[in-house]
Structure 1
Amino acid sequence: MSEVAGPVVAAFDFDGTLTRRDTLLPFLARGLGWPGFLRALLLSGPWMAGYALKLVRNDVAKARLLKMALAGRSSAEVAHWAADWAGRDLPRQLQDWALARLAQHRQAGHCCVIVSASPDIYLQHAARQLGFDALICTGLEVVDGRLTGRMSTANCHGEEKVRRLKAWLPERFGADAASQVTLYAYGDTAGDMPMLRLARHAWYRGEPWRDVPSRGE
């Protein structure tokens, strides 16, 4: 990685980029146990099927699943699930190429951030465990120590990743410095494309993304 003037940020998608596959369903299965997990899937089945058939938006199907799986659960209980998942399951799901890129960015002193549609309830643990400097993701609402099953932010997917990242950069570096940021971005699905297009250097499924117009070195 060549030296550049100004801040350097490395933005990583999580599911399918840092990990080999989706993590939300395995996390819910770990926490709920198979009977509770299958019940949540059954109750959200029509919405999930609609999403698979491209008849229901990603955020709508996800909201229904989260409500069926998490509404009324104490935040302490779910935090225990997350710590268990991060210790037992996460290390086996990580991709070597992504960890190598993350290590290179960290060694170079770059600011590393996860930008993901997955929820904060377990990504907070993953971000700390992997040594990230910041986390931008989908927030879940907690009232009086219990999850409502509702999102507290917009689903951090597609263009929302760009909106959240653009809002975060001046908060992190200041308005003047944010305009000088050199952005590296890593993703694996169409939902990551807007973030990849924002970046000066982009990787898609472990390979440099050639479709990004050159923005100079």
Structure 2
Amino acid sequence: MSQNDASNNRPVAFFDFDGTLTTGDTLMPFLKFVVGTPTYYAKLALVSPVLAAYFAKLLRNDIAKQIVLKQYLAGYHIDDLFERGQRFSEEVIPTMLRPEGMERLRWHKEQGHECVLVSASMDVYLNDWAQREGFSEVICTALEKDASGHVSGSIQGENCYGKEKHRRVVQWQSGKYLTDTYAYGDTSGDVPMLTAVKSGYLWKKDKFYSI
């Protein structure tokens, strides 16, 4: 085994973000942080039917998400969003962390395991937080931008959710000589990712259960 193969041999833990490492959704709080409270609630009234259709399972996750993102973020420059995302990750995310999820993350880091963040949430705020928490990589949803760097609210490729999470985790593992692999999630949308590893854990009520 080459030195490069050996470096790929350590255990890897994949973590969902919203609801697993945090106590709830972070996208809407981020949008509120970007546009401010008055604008947030004014736009929320416009997108409420979309959110209601999504929660009623009448609208696909990716479609609902892009409608919401276009309403809130269209016209922003990507650099501006990354700057606001950094501040959001420093000021807001620490107040939303789930102690049990962070305990699992810290345990894996103490064991010397590689940790990868896998989320449907946005890179504009996840990248900074993940770097500070010692993740080796972030697999998530990213915004499309035009030649001048402005966003429309559309996302690049597929939303990193459900089967897409599974596909990206399998792709990430491809060609690596991995021993033990772990994954943590909290919803049915994470189950496909949990089946892509040797040890998958789903958060239910007050603890992580092996699936």
Does the alignment reach a TM-score above 0.5? yes
The question of 1:165 aligning with 2:163 is answered no
Aligned to 1:215: none
Instruction: For residues 170-201 of structure 1, give each alpha carbon's deviation from its aligned partner in whole angstroms, at most 9, with x where no partner exists.
Output: 3xxxx2x34x4421010100001111122211
**Aligned residue pairs: how many?**
200
Share of identical aligned residues, percent? Answer: 40
Q: 1: distance between equivalents of 2:24 and 2:55?
A: 16
Q: 2: distance between equivalents of 1:67 and 1:113?
A: 28
1:145 maps to a residue whose letter is G
2:108 maps to a residue whose letter is H
Q: 2: distance between equivalents of 1:46 and 1:141?
A: 24
The normalised TM-score by structure 1 is 0.86
1:131 maps to a residue whose letter is G
**SS of structure 1 residue aligned to 2:144:** strand
Aligned-pair distance for 1:111? 1.1
The question of 1:44 aligning with 2:47 is answered yes
Aligned to 1:7: 10
2:17 maps to a residue whose letter is F
Which deviates further from its counterpart, 40-49 or 93-102? Answer: 40-49
Q: 2: distance between equivalents of 1:58 and 1:193?
A: 16
Q: Which one of 125, 131, 136 corresponds to residue 122 of structure 1?
A: 125
Q: 1: distance between equivalents of 2:208 and 2:172?
A: 26
Aligned-pair distance for 1:59? 1.1
Contact residue 20 and residue 101 of structure 2 kept, 8 A: yes
Contact residue 50 and residue 64 of structure 2 kept, 8 A: yes
Q: 1: distance between equivalents of 2:39 and 2:150?
A: 18
1:76 maps to a residue whose letter is D
Q: Mapping of 1:38-117 within 5 angstroms?
A: 38-117=41-120
Unaligned runs of 5+ in 2: 1-7
Contact residue 90 and residue 129 of structure 2 kept, 8 A: no
Q: 2: distance between equivalents of 1:149 and 1:86?
A: 20
As a proportion of its length, which structure holds more helix?
Answer: 1
**SS of structure 2 residue aligned to 1:14:** coil
The question of 1:149 aligning with 2:158 is answered no
Q: 2: distance between equivalents of 1:90 and 1:165?
A: 24
What's the C-alpha RMSD, in Å, of the aligned pairs? 1.6
**SS of structure 2 residue aligned to 1:47:** helix
Unaligned runs of 5+ in 1: 213-217
Q: 2: distance between equivalents of 1:36 and 1:153?
A: 28
Q: 2: distance between equivalents of 1:36 and 1:74?
A: 18
